[in-house]
């Protein structure tokens, strides 16, 4: 699936700021096809441009439509985002189920996908839902389910990106080059001598457990060679006085 | 894990609008603990209140701090959100790995969790990252990685909600009870005084980096309270001579 070909459709949006913020987060996730149906304040919209930040191109290339039917004409699979349960015989999924749902239902390369978002105040109308295949709901706090429009777009874009990520997504952890065990042992030997010298253990019988705990915590840190040099320097300086 | 007890920390936020939008989406997902460190435009902030919509209570109960260290003092596990790879020896995960990471590392009921977000323009400083346990990155389009602050908060809240959603059955593995950040800071303060006293840094200009690296390696070890007591005793004895 190509993220750039997924369409985000804002149906009768009210605030230009939300259109701009939606474009910005689409660009954050590599989506490029923005469609706008009957925006309240007309088009172009200065507030949308301002809020789009680095996604000015998406605003410039956004397509304007008079009706939902025209806006979705070339698409094949439509998701309607709505928080509210409707009395409607239609498949409904949670947002976190979207990747699995896409894999099952949108297999072909030529399947064009769209996600519809309703106006800020009222959400999608039943007439809009009737055009859609699947209802998509974000699992929000029932006490306060009203998501900001651009936030809803952000969550959908993020969940869509899971599909593309799939196998990829290796941790960005810097593969810490752990020091050799010999280097670690060298530090331990030095530390033990230093602690013996200041009678750190107080009671001799306690040393075995205390010493094991100390070594454990340093082992857990997966020290690299440079860090071991720093720690050795630290113990040396503290002991020299 | 109780969503209401997870802390969201906005570090030096610039735009009141973003603070308000962050509070709103926190409430959407049932989060309630908002902490704000040194907001650019002071506090309270009318734009924050306006954008918070139905989450006015979160704005009213948000706690204000002068420094990151004070804001995190009672927390145990800290995630730092940043899009940029850093040359830093610190664990880093992708946002979609967060639920699994929480299950592995934050098992105890008394582990208090915080997620830090940096200022809009510049993100978190290395000094902020040094206080954190784990770097958390959203898998964004490398060509345009700059996420809006409140959008980043939305994505993290959504991913956190997965833990509560899918957290049935699986028995959490016992994790070490990490010490509070205040206890860790106490050790750092003592160690810094001791190392200053023996002129450990040699060249003054090298201290900031060396000191950050040292704190990072101890943070990485996820020390518990007993281990911090042992280390403090060790530094005290070595310095006493």
pLDDT tens-digit map of A107-157: 666 788 999 999 999 999 988 988 888 999 999 998 999 999 999 999 999
Contacts A–B by Cβ distance under 8 A: 164
B64: closest CA of chain A, how far (Å): 24
Q: In what order do the strands lie in the sheet with B33-37?
A: B63-65, B33-37, B7-11, B113-117, B77-81, B134-137, B91-94
- Angle, CA of B186, B192 and B196, to the nearest 5°: 150
Tally of helices (H runs) and strands (E runs) in chain B: 10, 7
Q: In what order do the strands lie in the sheet with A91-94?
A: A63-65, A33-37, A7-11, A113-117, A77-81, A134-137, A91-94
Pair B99, B159: CB distance under 8 Å: yes
pLDDT in tens, chain A (241 residues): 788 889 999 999 999 999 999 999 999 999 999 999 999 999 999 999 999 999 999 999 999 999 999 999 988 889 999 975 656 667 889 999 999 888 887 766 678 899 999 999 999 998 898 888 899 999 999 899 999 999 999 999 999 998 875 534 444 444 346 677 788 889 999 999 999 999 898 888 889 888 888 887 887 777 888 889 999 999 998 988 6
Nearest residue on chain A to B193, alpha-carbon basis: A238
- Burial readout A80-101 (b: 16 or more C-beta within 10 A, e: otherwise): bbbbeeeeeeeeeeebbebbeb
Q: What is the number of other CB atoms lying within 10 angstroms of the CB of residue A13?
A: 25
**Residues 6+ positions from A69 with CB-CB distance below 8 Å:** A131
Nearest residue on chain B to A235, alpha-carbon basis: B238
pLDDT in tens, chain B (241 residues): 788 889 999 999 999 999 999 999 999 999 999 999 999 999 999 999 999 999 999 999 999 999 999 999 999 999 999 975 656 678 899 999 999 998 888 766 678 999 999 999 999 998 999 899 999 999 999 899 999 999 999 999 999 998 876 543 232 223 457 788 888 999 999 999 999 999 898 888 889 888 988 988 898 788 888 889 999 999 999 988 6
- Angle, CA of A88, A90 and A91, to the nearest 5°: 140
Q: Is A141 on the interface with B (CB under 8 A)?
A: yes
A167: closest CA of chain B, how far (Å): 12
What is the C-alpha to C-alpha distance for residues A87 and B221, in angstroms, rounded to an integer? 53
Nearest to B137 among A172, A234, A235 (CB): A172
**Residues 6+ positions from A26 with CB-CB distance below 8 Å:** A8, A32, A34, A55, A58, A153, A157
CA-nearest of B227, B201, B196 to A221 is B227
Nearest to A27 among B137, B144, B226 (CB): B144
Using the Cα atoms of residue A119, residue A123, residue A125 and residue A131 in order, give the sign of their dihedral.
positive
Q: Is B141 on the interface with A (CB under 8 A)?
A: yes
Q: Is A4 on the interface with B (CB under 8 A)?
A: no
Q: To which H or E segment does residue B235 belong?
A: helix B225-240
Three-class DSSP labels, chain A: CCHHHCEEEEECCCCHHHHHHHHHHHHHCCCCEEEEECCCCCCCCHHHHHHCHHHHHHHHHCEEECCHHHHCCCCCEEEEECCCCCCCCCEEEEHHHHHHHHHHHCCCCCCCEEEEECCCCCCCCHHHHCCCCEEEECCCCCCCCCCCHHHHHHHHHHHHHHHHHCCCCCCCCCCCCCCCHHHHHHHHHHHHHHHHHCCCCCCHHHHHHHHHHHHHHHHHCCCCHHHHHHHHHHHHHHHHC
CB contacts, 8 Å: A141 with chain B = 27-30
Q: Is A126 on the interface with B (CB under 8 A)?
A: no
CB contacts, 8 Å: A153 with chain B = none
SS3 B200: coil
CB contacts, 8 Å: A230 with chain B = 210, 213-214, 217
SS3 B91: strand
Question: Which residues between 65 and 104 in chain A have a beta carbon less than 8 angstroms from any beta carbon of chain B?
Answer: 95-96
For position B167, what pLDDT does the model report?
A: 40
CB contact (8 A) between residue B53 and residue A162:
no
Nearest residue on chain A to B3, alpha-carbon basis: A141
CB contact (8 A) between residue B194 and residue A235:
no
What is the C-alpha to C-alpha distance for residues B89 and B155, in angstroms, rounded to an integer? 25
For position B85, what pLDDT does the model report?
A: 60
What is the C-alpha to C-alpha distance for residues B176 and B169, in angstroms, rounded to an integer? 21
Q: Is A173 on the interface with B (CB under 8 A)?
A: yes
For position B84, what pLDDT does the model report?
A: 59
For position A9, what pLDDT does the model report?
A: 98
Nearest residue on chain B to A171, alpha-carbon basis: B93
């Amino acid at each position: 699936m190509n993220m750039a070909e997924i369409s985000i459709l804002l149906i009768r949006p009210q605030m230009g700021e939300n259109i701009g913020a939606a474009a910005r987060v689409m660009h954050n996730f590599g989506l490029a096809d923005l469609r706008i149906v009957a925006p309240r304040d007309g088009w172009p919209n200065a507030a949308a441009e301002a809020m789009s930040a680095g996604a000015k191109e998406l605003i410039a290339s956004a397509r304007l439509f008079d009706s939902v039917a025209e806006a979705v004409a070339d698409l094949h699979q439509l998701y309607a985002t709505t928080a509210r349960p409707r009395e409607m015989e239609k498949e409904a999924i949670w947002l976190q189920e979207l990747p699995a749902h896409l894999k099952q239902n949108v297999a072909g390369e030529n399947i064009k996908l769209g996600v519809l978002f309703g106006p800020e105040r009222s959400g999608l109308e039943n007439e809009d839902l009737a055009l859609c295949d699947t209802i998509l709901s974000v699992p929000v706090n029932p006490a306060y389910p009203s998501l900001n429009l651009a936030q809803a777009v952000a969550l959908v874009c993020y969940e869509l990106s899971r599909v593309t990520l799939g196998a990829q997504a290796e941790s960005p952890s810097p593969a810490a080059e752990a020091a050799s065990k010999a280097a670690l042992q060298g530090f331990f030997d030095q530390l033990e001598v230093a602690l013996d010298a200041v009678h750190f253990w107080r009671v001799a019988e306690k040393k075995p457990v205390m010493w094991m705990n100390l070594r454990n915590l340093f082992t857990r840190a997966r020290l690299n060679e440079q860090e071991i040099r720093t720690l050795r320097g630290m113990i040396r300086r503290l002991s020299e006085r």
